[in-house]
A and B are shown apart, each in its own frame.
Chain A
């Protein structure tokens, strides 16, 4: 009763939706899907996701602790360490899949702002921790045209702003696609090293190793995008890492968001045309 009196006494509160009022009064029931959302969106991201017609539902995570298997390699040879490539790929896939399942349980249309991290564990150098974390969102009026492949929520490492912009560009995200290649870069023989002393020269075997590893990672990412029936992949990043391995072993990891044109033309927001914008406080 006391609450209602307060409400009547303060006309500013009349403007608030019932739900916000309940929240302010701390009466929200926990654990309800329609209840409080959690997210790691920034203020701008939150505004743009809502502007695009979506509501955040909750933060979703997937993790995977993976024991990386044994791999043989030859000291003086450039070669892919395919057991390690597969380990890195599989572990990420598991973490992503778990995150997707959480989002699915929230009845989300997709996950934006996904961060995919690999962490070393101090207590065992053969074990790596993989983490996928993002914010699950759903279309406000529940349009079915935004789901990812196989009716699962889409996943994307795009920020809230980029998500908004993607829809404006007439595309929708499908899934994060990845390609991994762990490569052993050959050691140079002593004779070869000596013959190069004092010279400014390219070391072709090393160039080749980097080139080949990148090419393989790219090819795998593209094949994955093809499997997701994407038209293209945006925001591709290429990471090189060594994850505590010995010095000549490195991973090339390509990751991006697979996209396709929005099928339901009625859903495409009005196009915005880029304007000449020149910040004068550069």
Chain B
């Protein structure tokens, strides 16, 4: 008998398993009501409280270097915080990125706020897909809640995303990373109603004459309509990134981008449409542009190197 069938055979008879199932049902119920009301379940709250009070060991995703920042900058790890959101894209995968990440980050923030953290550092982003399901995936974020000596508890931790050491480095320079900014935009291009309402050369004309892009003639030429269309989509996404960042900070660092243009499904007698999308992430920072903190720079030999970008792994193995 295959493993799969064995998993889904009839229910077990032993009492231990029955008790386990009952406990799980209660836990399930609490999760359901908490997720619906944007609250944390009591058992999560208890663990976070115990971690905060030192009854449970602190937990940190940061590398050991992060501990150095505790000794020198008073940045102390409290606990690991996480959030996720499993999202189905009905009409838009691109829009899903915006909503899904924001929801996941909101949940992670909730955990950090419950511990009175000043900031969440070392944030990693990860997506999960499941085999046999399409048009949906899980957005997950993971980070370390930290407290900063001398600041007291905060009810609104900043989502700093960078590592503890980089956080210290930015603080020294008078800059505070405050959150993740996202810009995501997609648009369809329909050849006959070209976007600018003008008679464009390239795709527009070619399409009307029943030609595909590959049949535009033997000479070098720009596919002007698609160029303009894609530029437009990108500008909108970057504009959205900017306004998302404006909510919380004064600028964006270290952008990660995903961008593509693909033809839609072909239909008889209709020239192909095109889907363009652009997704951009970055760390929003808060600083005073008129204030300059000079840094003394010297050359050193580094034994550890890190990047300033939030880690995004969009190619997570299918589970």
Q: CB within 8 Å of B: which residues of A?
A: 44, 48, 70-75, 78-82, 125-126, 158, 161-166, 168-171, 184-185, 196-204, 206-208, 210-212, 214-215, 218-219, 221-223, 225-226, 230-238, 240-242, 245-250, 256, 258, 271-279
- A73-B8, A165-B64, A234-B62 are contacts. A201–B57 as well, Cβ < 8 Å? no
Which residue of chain B is the closest to A241 with respect to CB atoms? B319
**Quick check: which of B9-17, B202-210, B244-252 contacts chain A, the rest being far away?**
B9-17
B82-A232 in contact (CB<8A): no
Known: A162-B64, A275-B298; 13 extra A-B contacts, CB below 8 A, are A44-B303, A70-B6, A202-B85, A203-B87, A208-B31, A211-B84, A232-B57, A234-B67, A238-B142, A246-B4, A248-B130, A273-B71, A274-B169
Chain B residues positioned under 8 Å from A215 (CB to CB): 43-44, 47
In the complex, A163 Cα to B165 Cα: how many Å?
17
Q: Say if the beta carbon of B72 comes within 8 Å of chain A.
A: yes
A274-B65 in contact (CB<8A): yes
A221-B59 in contact (CB<8A): yes
B84-A185 in contact (CB<8A): no
In the complex, A275 Cα to B17 Cα: how many Å?
55
Chain A residues positioned under 8 Å from B290 (CB to CB): none
A165-B304 in contact (CB<8A): yes
**Quick check: which of B95-103, B153-161, B225-233, B262-270 contacts chain A, the rest being far away?**
B95-103
Chain B residues positioned under 8 Å from A169 (CB to CB): 64, 67-68, 70-71
A157 to chain B, nearest CB (A): 11
Which residue of chain A is the closest to B55 with respect to CB atoms? A226
A200-B92 in contact (CB<8A): yes
A222-B59 in contact (CB<8A): yes
Interface residues on chain B, number (Cβ under 8 Å): 85
Which residue of chain B is the closest to A219 with respect to CB atoms? B47
Which residue of chain B is the closest to A278 with respect to CB atoms? B297
Q: Say if the beta carbon of B215 comes within 8 Å of chain A.
A: no
B258 to chain A, nearest CB (A): 18
Chain B residues positioned under 8 Å from A238 (CB to CB): 82, 142
Q: Say if the beta carbon of B196 comes within 8 Å of chain A.
A: no
Chain B residues positioned under 8 Å from A203 (CB to CB): 86-88, 136
Chain B residues positioned under 8 Å from A165 (CB to CB): 63-65, 67-68, 303-304
In the complex, A212 Cα to B36 Cα: how many Å?
15
In the complex, A258 Cα to B59 Cα: how many Å?
9
B281 to chain A, nearest CB (A): 18
Q: Say if the beta carbon of B131 comes within 8 Å of chain A.
A: yes
Q: Say if the beta carbon of B220 comes within 8 Å of chain A.
A: no
- Some 16 contacts from A to B, beta carbons below 8 A apart, are A79-B28, A125-B2, A163-B64, A165-B304, A166-B67, A170-B71, A201-B90, A214-B82, A226-B57, A234-B66, A240-B126, A241-B319, A242-B319, A274-B165, A276-B169, A277-B169
